[in-house]
Structure 1
Amino acid sequence: MRIVLAGSSHWHAEMHLDAAHSCNAEIAGIWDEDAEHARAFATRHHLPFIADFAKILTSPPDVILLMGHPSTVPARARAVIEAGIPLILEKPAASSTGALAALRDLARQHRAFVSVPLPNRFGPAVTAFERLRRQGRAGAVAHCQFRLVNGPPQRYAAEGVAWVVDPAIGGGGALRNLGIHGVDAALSLATGGLQLKAVSIENRIHRAAVEDHALLMLEDAAGALFVVEAGYTFASMRPGGDFEWRIVSENASLIDYGDRAICATLDDGAIVDLPIELPATRYRLCMGDTLDRLARKAPPGTSINDYVAAMSLIDAAYEKAGR
């Protein structure tokens, strides 16, 4: 697979490059709105530099990974979709759900392949639970907790993307940026729709323009409870923060702490350690799944439809919280 990384100044660019290398993909070029940034990135990694985005469309690779500023990504995503080129669309891809939904509708119209990296879908607790479910051993989901709390919002200024904490551009704070992973996890495991039972969205420590902590309590049509917590309140700038993915069903309890994971099953009394992939490198698993599906002409495992669904639920949470 030949892949172009379009948007080298995005804070996940290095993760996606690592993921592409792990899949033995050929990096066909590096592009960014800031040409000097892209040139330096390409030079540092000994990769081809692309100065003009239009050239990517006229000499297309197998797939384009697009990431960048929410004000400019939608137009470029439209161009990629209309050109018939498979697309991996990194978040945030738009400042509003409406703009993102317009891209989704365009993708449907063109029957386009648009994958969205939601790497915690490939975490050990989720994949082990899906395996138990296929074996008929999981039972109904009872309750789940998805927590992703990173360091203070200044981390984005340090990365050169201070716009992430500008609500007019990023569309929100910790819930929109980090909590979307937990909301997507809840949606993927829920039976029927999700109802917002309780919402807390506040600035508990930092006085930024966006919230630094959010807590959602949701319930599905079968009565399963889902708690999503997201924040910029971890007291460190180091990667990782406070991470926990917990899935509890009738026959299984699975907990992913980021650097270790366990699975307990009632039917055989076992408690086992699960093979671990760190959250930062789960992009490798996400990329591998995406390229495999693309090669098989199968639809993406995590698509723009999933992205819009999570964004819409987050919109409802902001509205319920009066924000």
Structure 2
Amino acid sequence: MTFKVGIIGLHHLHSEGYIQLLGNLPDADVTAISDGDEPLLRQIGGRYEISELYTDWRDLIRNSDVDLVIILLPHAMCPDAAVQACRAGKHVIVEKPMSNRSEGILRMISAARDSGAKLTTPYLWRYCSAAEKIKEMIDEGRIGRIVAFEGRNVAGPPRRYPDGGAEWMIRKEISGGGPLHNLGVHWIDLFRWISGQEILSVAAKVNSLTHGLEIEDNSHALLVFESGAVASLDISYSAAYGYDLFVQVRGTEGVISWRPQMNGPSVIEIARGRERDVMEIEEGRIKGYGGVWGVKFLRDFLKAIEEDSRPPITGEDGYRALKVVEAAYKSSREGRFVEVG
């Protein structure tokens, strides 16, 4: 079948990227888009020849021809839209981190369960070939038992959000937070997926010393896993430009280091004693949000819908990641380790 897709929310840096990405799938077609900004709505509709335009997302959800909706609204608005979409019989993708508060994700999970709708969120780093290779090596026992992770995601200044029409991203009550909430969830989810473990407690410190916004712009966190393994995170908007990305997994018998790349090959180094093995992994290039990773993610989700199976990434995964972030914020306020709960 060909899935008819509706995009809800155009004031997001990834909205057009999803439209472009879906153009790579023969079994999906963007037939409807929604945003309260009518000039922008008409501009995007014209650019991609989408004729069904809605200034109210509720009207899009009432369109019985739409099978699947992708929600890119300001985070505080995502739960209401997702819940109503599930109740209307739509399958739902909610852009991470899904909500400004974890309670909102619980509402989505409940609505999806009650309606039979499939619910997911795009933690696309799981679909990066380098990340898949790292998980494969760990599952094979190449570095022994995991004892520690290190993750760095240092992004450039947050002015790209208002410049890109997403000024709400720097408003704490609407977005939920700064880089830890927006970017840190990627590494939190990736480390959960790689290890197969939950994070039990967090110690963290966040501040707004770089840009002086109401959201934090620097965050450091220590995560404790079920096994006692720990992860250190350095997540911020303090890079001069672009991204500074790094991931390391340390085991009892070796260390895997990875420098992820948005464009171009990723380099993985596996160290065991004095031995070093370096591999370069090249991804194909596809237009749209997430490129090859995004296509893999969408194909998996459409397959789950067709087979009525559990999506590889669930609403529960989104909930667990955001609970860790909330524990980190609480830890920073109170100056102590906080249980994730």
2:235 pairs with 1:230: yes
Structure 1 distance, partners of 2:283, 2:147, is 24
TM-score by length of 1: 0.88
**Letter in structure 2 aligned against 1:46:** E
Deviates more, 1:165-174 or 1:280-289: 280-289
The answer as to 2:281 corresponding to 1:274 is yes
Matches for 1:37-56 after TM superposition, within 5 Å: 37-51=40-54, 53=57, 54-56=59-61
The answer to whether the 8 A contact 2:150-2:247 is kept is yes
Task: Indicate which of 206, 221, 224 corresponds to 1:219.
Answer: 224
Determine if the alignment matches structure 1 residue 241 to structure 2 residue 243. yes
Could you tell me how far 1:189 is from its partner in structure 2?
3.1
1:77 counterpart = 2:82: yes
Residue identity in the other structure for 1:8: L
Shift of 1:86: 0.9
- Give 1:4's aligned residue: 6
Alignment match of 1:148 (pick from 136, 147, 153)? 153
Q: CA offsets per residue over residues 186-233 of structure 1, 9 Å max, x none?
A: 222345432445312112311111110111111212232212221110
Q: Measured at CA, do residues 86 and 40 of structure 1 come closer, stay the same or move farther in structure 2, by a change above 3 Å? A: same
- Give 1:291's match in structure 2, choosing from 296, 302, 325: 302
Other structure's SS at 1:156 match: helix
Shift of 1:7: 1.5
Aligned to 1:262: 268
- How far residue 257 of structure 1 moved from its aligned partner, in angstroms, is 2.4
Residue range with higher mean Cα deviation, 158-167 or 53-62 = 53-62
The structure 2 residue matched to 1:34, chosen from 25, 32, 37, is: 37
3-state DSSP of counterpart to 2:149: strand
The farther-off stretch of 292-301 and 144-153 is 292-301
Match in the other structure for 2:25: 23
How high is the sequence identity, in percent, across the aligned residues?
22
Following TM superposition, by how much is the alpha carbon of 1:254 offset from its aligned partner in structure 2, in angstroms? 4.3
What is the deviation of 1:137? 4.4
Aligned twin of 1:198 = 203
Counterpart-to-counterpart distance in 2, 1:263 and 1:296: 38
CA distance in 2: counterparts of 1:123 and 1:227, whole angstroms = 21
In the other structure, the counterpart of 1:171 is: 176
State the AA in 1 paired with 2:267: A
Distance in 2, Cα, partners of 1:19 & 1:58: 22
Uncovered stretches (5+) of structure 1, i.e. residues with no partner:
none
Change (3 A) 1:138 1:289: farther
Structure 2 segments unaligned to the other structure (5+ residues): 335-341
* Matched length: 320
Cα 1:280–1:146 shift into 2, 3 Å: farther
Aligned partner of 2:324 in structure 1 is 313
Return closer, same or farther for 1:217/1:286 CA change in 2, 3 Å cut-off.
same
